[in-house]
Structure 1
Amino acid sequence: MTADPLLDRALVEEATKKSGLVWVQGEDSPARALWHVWHEDAAHLVGDGPGEQPLPGLVDGGVAEVTVRSKDKGGRVVAWTARVSELAPGSEPWEAAVAELKGKRLNASDAEGITDRWASQCRVVRLTPLDGVAELPEGSLAAAPLATGATTRQPVPGGLPKLLFKRKRR
């Protein structure tokens, strides 16, 4: 992107820190929007467990493409390539990452026991930027939404328009 790798590194770090959501494309998988925290010069993710985000294609020792969006406008700011490493539960890097992730995890049903659940049922993944790989995004990356069981197509209930557009009496 620029001739100075330190500026590239600073752009990647600042953009990723400020964005609560990044698009990550692992090996042989589509890009997914994932929440993360920036800690010790890398993005950290937790997932692949009950109630957590899926992390397909993020294998230990692999590479992933990360696209960072602007927090206020939602547009792409920078894209970078990362080395994927899975942190071993209970290790010092795992404990440090989980302490940061726990503080940013919204809507956890079991906030007190979340670290135990993550240790036994989930994966904590570290995405470390590779040097000299930051680039300003160009072109559209628009894609059809991934299939999910969370959406259904059903007709609108008959009484709903009357309820929505009913005039208030004075």
Structure 2
Amino acid sequence: MTNELLDRALVEEATKKSGLIWVRGAGAPAARALWHVWHEGAACVVGDGPGEQPLPGLADGSAAEVTVRSKDKGGRIVAWSATAVELAPDSEAWEAAVAELKGKRLNAPDGEAMTGRWSRECRVVRLEPTGATMSLPDGSLAEAPLPSAATTRQPVPAGLPRLLFKGRKRR
């Protein structure tokens, strides 16, 4: 009984303090990083709408695996199993969860109208802990990036040093 209470406290505190959680829904090929809020004993997420995060495999009543990372170091702290519960738009539970989510949503394109858009076009899902924690994997779960034409490193243009040091005089 004591271990169960300690596990529940660890899940709650770690999830409250973390800005992101990694969630793998039923049938999803890999876990996704999702922003969330901890509200009334569960992690609440919003998504699956235009401009919002995707929620693959998080159907109402499905199982999910949640991994919580440390906010300061980024390492895994705890992994726990959850049941996904989709909240009905404009219900009392939905309103309470959205009030919390609204304060955490950064850079919303529609500002105050975002809750109306969430009601029409998005899903709000509660990830309710089942009480079971899972053992953390030993190795890295990093995957190779997908092939892309995008690049971050290019040679410095030949004229750039002249432009940067044009106004400076050496003494």
Tell whether the structures are fold-level matches, with TM greater than 0.5. Answer: yes
Cross-structure match for 1:56? 56
Describe the SS at the equivalent of 2:41: coil
Per the normalisation by structure 1, the TM-score is 0.87
Q: For structure 2, list consecutive stretches of 5 or more residues without a partner in the other structure.
A: none
Q: Is the 8 A contact 1:43 1:127 kept in 2?
A: yes
Cα distance in 1, alignment partners of residues 46 and 138 from structure 2: 30
Cα distance in 2, alignment partners of residues 57 and 160 from structure 1: 49
Cα distance in 1, alignment partners of residues 105 and 50 from structure 2: 14
Cross-structure match for 1:98? 98
Cα distance in 2, alignment partners of residues 125 and 56 from structure 1: 12
Residue identity (%): 62
Q: Does 1:4 align with 2:3?
A: yes
CA positional deviation for 1:155:
7.3
Q: Is the 8 A contact 1:24 1:33 kept in 2?
A: yes
Describe the SS at the equivalent of 1:61: coil
Cα distance in 2, alignment partners of residues 42 and 81 from structure 1: 11
More strand by share: 2
Cross-structure match for 1:24? 23
Q: For structure 1, list consecutive stretches of 5 or more residues without a partner in the other structure.
A: none
Structure 1 moving runs of 4+ over 6 Å = none
Per the normalisation by structure 2, the TM-score is 0.87
Amino acid in the other structure paired with 1:12: V
**Alignment RMSD (CA, Å):** 2.6
Cross-structure match for 2:113? 113
Count residues in correspondence. Answer: 166
